[in-house]
Amino acid sequence: MKYMIQKIKKITSVLVTLIIVILLIVSINENNKISNNFILDVDSSFIHHAKLERILINEIDTNSSEVNFFDIEKKIKLNPHVKDVKVFKDLRGNLNVGLTQYKPIARIVSGKFIDNYIDVDGHLFPTSKDYSKRVILIHLSDNIIYENNSIFNSPFGEDLLKMINFINQNNFFNKIISEIDVDSNKNIVIHPFLSKQKIIFGYPDMLEEKFNKISLFYNQIIPSKGWNTYKTVNVKFKDQIICDKFS
């Protein structure tokens, strides 16, 4: 009797172990599959969730365990608005996609690099028919000579980018400045939102000094003289503000 009980226990133990092994195999096979649930983290509007889902659906066979995340990332990165992307599967089989897009700080509307946005690091990327961002408009002369065919790979380009970033980081100037003209001599004229006058800035240097003079014009001269008294405000010369009245 004792022998039979031991034998039954042994057989039961073997069966339990076998069941556990089978369940583990099934679980592993299921976990290797990608579910049709996508968890998307998209930080901008150039590529919205629906567009990203369409890309994933076209690239993934949810019944297959052979999913190459690196290839999916490469495919998504072909979009010029994508700065970085991470694709991975969680323990539930959900496909997670973290997408970082370039964030525009200005838009080039004329010249060699027309219809491109600029990001904070000077990276150029194209405009989109799906989304438009209100940013400073940059008018570039057709006659500007660029080093290495790049607007920001030069001392002038670096100074221009510093100026654009300066404007965007200032709560006052990013509200009043709408457009920047750059002529063939790399001199700049600013067009404000609020008033009719043009601001002659000159070369994009001495930013603190020149913008302090612009601030002085709006905070002290305009309140006493009126918004539309002057047609130009010249701040390009050191320690001077030259205001030219409408005739």
Higher pLDDT, 61 or 143: 143
Angle of helix 49-59 relative to helix 69-77, nearest 10 degrees, comes to 130
Mean pLDDT rounded to a whole number for the chain: 81
Per-residue pLDDT tens digits for 174-207? 999 999 999 989 999 999 987 778 999 999 999 9
| pLDDT beyond 60 at 27 | no
pLDDT number for residue 214 = 94
Q: Confidence band (pLDDT; 50, 70, 90) for 47?
A: confident
Higher pLDDT, 52 or 242: 242
Q: In terms of Cα–Cα distance, which of 111, 104, 134 is closest to 186?
A: 111
Please state the pTM of the whole predicted model: 0.77
- Set out the domains of the chain in order of their start, with CATH numbers: 38-101 (3.10.20.310), 106-245 (3.40.50.11690)
Q: Confidence band (pLDDT; 50, 70, 90) for 64?
A: low
| Measured distance CA(148)–CA(45) in Å, rounded | 31
Per-residue pLDDT tens digits for 122-177? 999 999 888 888 999 999 988 877 766 678 888 888 999 999 999 999 999 999 99
Q: Confidence band (pLDDT; 50, 70, 90) for 16?
A: very low
| pLDDT beyond 70 at 69 | yes
> CB under 8 Å to 179, separation ≥6 — which residues?
136, 137, 138, 139, 190, 191
| pLDDT beyond 70 at 1 | no
Higher pLDDT, 48 or 160: 160
Per-residue pLDDT tens digits for 204-225? 999 999 999 999 999 998 888 8
> CB under 8 Å to 11, separation ≥6 — which residues?
none
| pLDDT beyond 80 at 10 | no
| pLDDT beyond 70 at 26 | no
| pLDDT beyond 80 at 92 | no
Q: Which stretch of DSSP H or E encloses residue 132?
A: none
